[in-house]
Amino acid sequence: MSVSHSSELLNAIEAELLEVERLVALIQREQDVLVSRHLDQISPILELKTLALQQLEVVTRERIAVADRLDLKSASDVSEFLQFDSSALAQWQQLQLQAKLAEVLNRSNAQLVKCHEEANHHLMSLLSKQKNQEMAYSADGRLSHQSGLGRPLDRA
């Protein structure tokens, strides 16, 4: 293949790598916020993450189009094509590693969100139970909580 095709592919790989690295940084910030429970900071990060994903989609399509013009149909085809250009091959491998990292971090963040949701649901359940308990005075005159399953207060 010609040098211009090779450099066109390398440029596409570099552009995609930059976008994936930007996305990884945002996902890591998202994880920090989720772990620290500063959930008021999550909304702007999610907006930036959405924009980053949209931009990544654009550059990924561009890289795929260049690869298609070079008749490179798979990741291994691209690796084989770049085998004689160690710098380009290293960029390609870095892109693949960063994409995998983004996937793993995103899955981890989804698990953190699920844990937060479960904790909130549990807390709401506890608060709801506490709210539904009836207040009454016991025989010794102290205030006590009764669960609605006890004896009605108007019966002896």
At 25-44, the pLDDT tens digits run 999 999 999 999 888 889 99
Look up residue 37 and give its amino acid: R
Look up residue 134 and give its amino acid: E
d(CA 97, CA 69): 24
- Global confidence as pTM: 0.74
State yes or no: pLDDT of 139 exceeds 80. no
Judge contact between 128 and 50, C-beta under 8 A: no
Q: What is the per-residue pLDDT for 23?
A: 97
pLDDT band at 129 (very low <50, low <70, confident <90, very high): confident
Judge contact between 15 and 62, C-beta under 8 A: yes
